[in-house]
Structure 1
């Protein structure tokens, strides 16, 4: 096993299950001290009492690794601040932040309640922003003190955030927001030694169990293409010093496939040099659409 993260301290939010659990175990196997954050919420955000973060810590320690549990709500300022403080107080350093926490409340748009919108956007988007803000503030202070860090942030978006997904307007909007947050953070923070990237993973977790069947890539192949553990090697690399120079990028990861996603960029254009009439604008728009690449299909359409 590669010790790519030897000596680094890594925070993983939402690490009690699924992708977060796989990431935490992979970082620990690669030599990192891991702060395992999980609020123990159900699929819809209901808070439970299972102590999943402590279970993962026990699993890491049983394998010879080092980890602590953190049960705070990272979508609050106090919870996010205490998460960063836990890493610094326990290990004296913070090197990598993996934002992963989230849950679903799926409804078709006309049936989507305001509370369902607010809850999902809060945990996914605000729950990315606040840990990133507090971690970046620490790293910026380090850089200004002449101790420029080799800091890494890996955010978690989704194909739903890139293409949209029927019945998931709240989730898709939040995950699209995470992409924009990643791009802005990468641009603002690179001067302080901080790299910020995002993944759009496809894996079988509680949130996708109805989408991905429990099947292998091929009968008898011995490779479960939807296992969360398939995504973690890319996350470990992005969270390590080995990814030097890679920032502001979005990667799709599924099974044995890694794709660099290419987002919005200027396509066909026309400039009249003066104001269009509505008729001219419509005629020109249709002409440009005829020259443009067709967008990808929304998931479920």
Structure 2
């Protein structure tokens, strides 16, 4: 399946024809699949991945450069970017790479990340900080850099048709045992998505998030049984390429009419719109509760509330 995406002919048509798309963490896994899928739909792609040479530029055999070569071999246009998008400089240079190479930026796909899994009692502060940095800060800084670019365009009378697709996780929606840092970062990305959608709409920007399930370097070891590819030629439900069609649509001009501030779970052939925190059962005494009275009220409300989804990995 990966090879078929890589060798799809790229023409002048397609859902994203003429658009310029930057994808972070695009050297492997989901990011690579997204980059190839955008290119197959006519987009010009900035492929970001932190595989760099001694001079800080993408090395010829870096993951980003290899993906660029795949896109070019199929007739598409792409450039590699090896900057660290969890720094202000790296995020700014990502936007600059798009503008310098192709004259514009239309879509940002925030995808970069890694895991440092531990149970909370064993989780080192450095492992917490590292995961927060690459996932949450690595979403915020490229988003901020792109937003500044698009705001300037809008103020100059060139209101863009801009799109951002952020990458959360089921761990961010429900939690995942042994992944407290990752779950917190991915939940933070959901909050960031909602705020960005509300703030950036005036500049022609739509911001959405996905919570994908697919086989990547991060998941194939942690969830080896469920992520294994089938051996009989059956539909590969966990192939990362299954996630990319929705990402391409969300990153295209076709995702109009206020498709913004939403979260989608996407896995295999299934797409689900997630409905987040909403008020459930409530009671108002119109005066201060006693602790015991508040407890009785809470128990009654919980008895009438929907049971939350189970935390991943909970027994």
TM-score computed with the length of structure 1 as normaliser = 0.95
What is residue 304 of structure 2 aligned with on the other side?
291
Q: Is the 8 A contact 2:214 2:227 kept in 1?
A: no
Candidates 203, 208, 218, aligned match of 1:197: 208
Once the two structures are superposed, the pairs formed by residues 65-84 of structure 1 within 5 Å of their partners are 65-84=76-95
What is residue 228 of structure 2 aligned with on the other side?
214
Q: Is the 8 A contact 1:200 1:251 kept in 2?
A: yes
Once the two structures are superposed, the pairs formed by residues 1-301 of structure 1 within 5 Å of their partners are 3-40=14-51, 51-210=62-221, 211=223, 212-216=226-230, 220=232, 222-244=234-256, 245-301=258-314
Structure 1 position 176, deviation (Å): 0.2
Q: Is the 8 A contact 1:104 1:207 kept in 2?
A: yes
TM-score computed with the length of structure 2 as normaliser = 0.91
Q: Is the 8 A contact 2:24 2:109 kept in 1?
A: yes
Counterpart CA distance in 2 for 1:266 and 1:128 is: 28
Structure 1 position 213, deviation (Å): 3.4
Question: Aligned with 1:251: secondary structure?
Answer: strand
Q: Which blocks of at least 5 consecutive residues in structure 1 are unaligned? A: 42-47
Structure 1 position 50, deviation (Å): 5.3
Superposition misfits of 4+ residues, deviation over 3 angstroms: none
Q: Which blocks of at least 5 consecutive residues in structure 2 are unaligned? A: 1-7, 53-58
Q: What is the RMSD of the two structures over their aligned residues, measured on CA atoms?
A: 1.5
Residue by residue over 1:74-120, the C-alpha shift from the partner in whole angstroms, topping out at 9 and shown as x without a partner, is: 00000000000010111111000000000000000000000000000
Residue by residue over 1:27-55, the C-alpha shift from the partner in whole angstroms, topping out at 9 and shown as x without a partner, is: 000000000000039xxxxxx99510000
Counterpart CA distance in 2 for 1:232 and 1:287 is: 44
